[in-house]
Copies of this chain bind each other. A is one copy, B any other.
Amino acid sequence: MKTCRLAILGVTGAVGQEMLSILSEKKWPSNNLRIFASAKSAGKKFPFRETELVVEQLTPDSFNEIEVVLSALDNDVAQRFIPIAVEKGCLVIDNSSLYRLNQQVPLVIPEINPEDISSQNGVIANPNCSTIIALMAIAPLHACYPIQSMIVSTYQAVSGAGIKGMEELTTQTHDLQMNKIPQPAIFPRQIAYNLIPQIGSFDEEGNTSEELKLQNESRKILHHQDLQVICTCVRVPVIRSHSESITLFFEQDLDVSQVKVILSHAKGVKVVDDPLNYEYPTPLDTSNQDLIYVGRIRKQPIGNQTAISFWCCGDQLRKGAATNSIQILESYLKDYA
């Protein structure tokens, strides 16, 4: 892996921590990495390979000696600092939703549209987690057999709401065992032993921002503006892998065997689909790793169209966020730096 003067912004969050861990696995040189967060975390130390890195306070002067920024900042803080980083000449790989639909900003999943990186003007956006996980399975099929529409129901882990989201699930579960009434803080309702059909905020038609992300980001990444998406996003009491039940409508007929061949050869995807031997993906089996797992692949007749249904799972913090960002970094350094 080529290297550069790299910074992680928002290193204390769930995605920032995952970025640190993945860079360590990839043996990124510690003298080429600086880590930033808000003033209250400055001075905190994190082990990195054979050494320790010290968190620096993020300020407008943080970018003077940085070439590439991996940002895991929330939208509000990202909005303040990313323009400064770009102004200072950095390339920013951004995990917020701020720039994803900006026409000047490529939105990239490296297995799917790495060539879009070439059009960057200082920012490359990392897609939303549920978009990445769905498209890793959908894009290879769409490349061979164009899809017209997709109907998606998600089962999303609490890690999507960060460290505090994960803590809220375990705290509520513990409270219930102690006969204490759980108090929702991060999620709008109790999440322990419950489901919440709301992720993000609602528009006037009753869609959540999370549901619209899947539609709009999929259209941009696949370069398929006519793609029709019906999506229902649901938070479930699972720690860190998202799952999605997906039905695709194709323009032409195809069979389950063709789907399996295509997905078996798709980079970053693992087909686990032997139900008679109880083999199918679950969120627990697919956590703490980078592959997107696909199973329960079935062909279903609907009207005169061919529909293919499947179930996929992938770690929301890894391929859904940190891993994809670092793959963008690798792709950029290899082909464009």
Interface residues of A (CB under 8 A from B): 148-149, 151, 153, 155, 169, 173-174, 177, 188-190, 193-198, 202, 205-208, 228, 230, 232, 234, 236-239, 243, 245, 247, 249, 256, 273, 275-276, 278, 280-285, 295-303, 307, 309, 311
Q: Are A197 and B151 in contact (CB under 8 A)?
A: no
Q: Are B238 and A283 in contact (CB under 8 A)?
A: no
By a CB distance below 8 angstroms, the chain B residues around A234 are 155, 243, 245, 311
Interface of A is mostly: mixed
Cα A238 to Cα B189 in complex, Å, equals 14
Q: Are B245 and A283 in contact (CB under 8 A)?
A: no
Complex copy number for this chain: 2
Cα A153 to Cα B153 in complex, Å, equals 7
Contacts A190-B284, A197-B295, A282-B194 given; indicate if A228 touches B301 (C-beta within 8 A). Answer: yes
Instruction: With A153-B232, A195-B283, A202-B276 given, name 17 new contacts (CB 8 A).
Output: A149-B302, A153-B153, A153-B245, A155-B195, A169-B193, A177-B177, A189-B282, A193-B237, A196-B282, A197-B245, A197-B282, A198-B278, A205-B298, A228-B301, A230-B309, A232-B311, A237-B237
Cα A278 to Cα B155 in complex, Å, equals 19
Q: Are A307 and B230 in contact (CB under 8 A)?
A: yes
Cα A206 to Cα B206 in complex, Å, equals 34
What is the distance, in angstroms, from A215's C-beta to the closest C-beta of chain B?
10
By a CB distance below 8 angstroms, the chain B residues around A208 are 275
Contact of A194 among B174, B196, B280, B284 (CB under 8 A): B284
Q: Are B194 and A238 in contact (CB under 8 A)?
A: yes
Q: Are A194 and B283 in contact (CB under 8 A)?
A: yes
Ranked nearest first, the 6 interchain pairs of A and B with the lowest CB-CB distance are: A153-B153, A153-B245, A194-B284, A202-B275, A232-B245, A230-B300
Give the most central of A196, A275, A282, A295: most B CB within 10 Å: A282
Cα A197 to Cα B313 in complex, Å, equals 11
Contacts A149-B303, A174-B177, A298-B205 given; indicate if A195 touches B236 (C-beta within 8 A). Answer: yes
By a CB distance below 8 angstroms, the chain B residues around A282 are 189, 194-197
Cα A206 to Cα B197 in complex, Å, equals 28
Q: Are B193 and A243 in contact (CB under 8 A)?
A: no
Q: Are A278 and B188 in contact (CB under 8 A)?
A: yes
What is the distance, in angstroms, from A244's C-beta to the closest C-beta of chain B?
9
Show 15 residue pairs from A and B whose CB-CB distance is below 8 angstroms, ordered by the A residue.
Answer: A149-B302, A151-B302, A153-B232, A155-B234, A188-B278, A193-B239, A193-B284, A194-B282, A198-B275, A205-B298, A206-B298, A228-B303, A232-B245, A232-B309, A232-B311
Cα A276 to Cα B148 in complex, Å, equals 31
By a CB distance below 8 angstroms, the chain B residues around A275 are 198, 202, 206, 208
